[in-house]
Structure 1
């Protein structure tokens, strides 16, 4: 469990990151905050890319 001080710091850092995104010339449509979500999503998308690559021949055959 995080202390109140740690939570306040995390909220401040997240707010700063959000403002950086909002102020960007081309902000992303989606963003992840923190190490754990970033790691989980990378692993998930790596698996999806491998699956799609394995079935690419079927996808291309459907195009004709």
Structure 2
């Protein structure tokens, strides 16, 4: 999170936790370093992106 173009660490932290609350992502702890979390797409996000991909494929086929 050292790249300031993404916003401050506090802003990034808040946004990630908002996505967790919406069920769009989950956080998985890393075994090697408990301070690190892996952000993983949740089922709702996967469904959303599958729908978007389907629409894009239909549009591209025209």
Q: TM-score, normalised on structure 2?
A: 0.39
Q: TM-score, normalised on structure 1?
A: 0.38
More helix by share: 1
Higher relative contact order (CA 8 A, sep 6+): 2
More strand by share: 2
